[in-house]
A and B are shown apart, each in its own frame.
Chain A
Amino acid sequence: MSDNKYIDRRNFIERSFRIGLGAAVAGTAGYTLLKLTRRSYVWQIDPFKCTQCGRCQTDCVLPVSAVKCVHAYDLCGYCDLCGGYFKPDANELSTAAENQLCPTQAIKRQFVEEPYYEYIIVEELCIGCGKCVKGCTSFGNGSLILQIRHDICVNCNECAIARVCPSDAISRIPVDEPYIIKGDFSFTNKS
């Protein structure tokens, strides 16, 4: 006597494949759902709180800071006298090195048409010192801001810059909104 139903090898293999396939589909769906719904976080600077103290340059664990200057072009006035490009009271408004505020010449200035000039950040040269951001904030529209670049940042558990930031401008934000751009006024987390 036996209640055991006989399953031949072919049926056993077919059933095993079906169960395996179902589990794989369900697992993939679950994993995808988890990835889509779970909120990962990255470190970022709130430009509305940043005071350009200079610590982003010196306190990042990387040899060259992951913090870079970012240009919000829709805020820029395209001025001839750019407070982010020129030293205060520069001798003349020319590209001569002695007139430039950036210590690494990481901002390129290009004439567009009278009276406009475009300012482009060369990210490879930027060390995140924030001098240009301070100049632009003090004398211009504030279109230059500091941001942590996530292709460089190693996303430490405890950000070394956040630890020393005097204005608490660095916090974790959702990875699906990894930048806080000043010109983006649809952004709701403004301080």
Chain B
Amino acid sequence: MTTPLIKIEGLTKYYEMGGTTVRALDGVSLDIQPRTFTVVMGPSGSGKSSLLYLLGGLDRSTSGKITINDERLDQMDENALALFRRRTMGFIFQSYNLITSMNALENVAFPMQFTGIPVSERSERARQLLEQVGLSDRSHHRPSELSGGQQQRVAVARALVNNPSLILADEPTGNLDTVSGVSVMQLLSDLHRSGRTVLVVTHDPRMTRFATHKIFLLDGHVVSEAEYQSATMEMANLSSN
């Protein structure tokens, strides 16, 4: 068995909200192997986004260990986390988070400003990535001139610009119609096939068909697929009654 790329042990994340403690993650332990396509499924409030942000070092856990590439994220300071994200990870968000005043090419090139890649290489690399996501003819369009699916593909290109080994995607198809959603998932699947580790958080069961591994979260706990199915069936029945 290969060493896991990501190892999570006893991870908790509690929030204080209106005087009550919300247990977003309540003792999660799991391993994610390298070069896998993992989909984390869970209804809203299950803690799946919290898990993703903790893995990305964008938030701090309440307790537990997160090890990625043999490095302990929970012990890093802000600066080390930023540098770690820069070298290791690419992020894709539900709402794309493109900078509206920049065109597609500039948005893709944006992260390279922090890495010291020579200026001459930047636009070339950004152009190649836009071509890879099928948007070479849209490189000078602003986000407002692109469809949701196109915007998300720009975001995928941006996530790849520093050549990360790990892609973290938070509901990447959440704002997209089915066709666009499938094309984005196909793109992520291609990335997986090219040797990257992809972790997608979603509540859309249709997206699981691209996954090599599935993780189910309910109320801050990892559950089996069977438990998850029965719980979601129960919720569906409750809402139909």
The answer to whether A and B interact is no
Interface residues of A (CB under 8 A from B): none
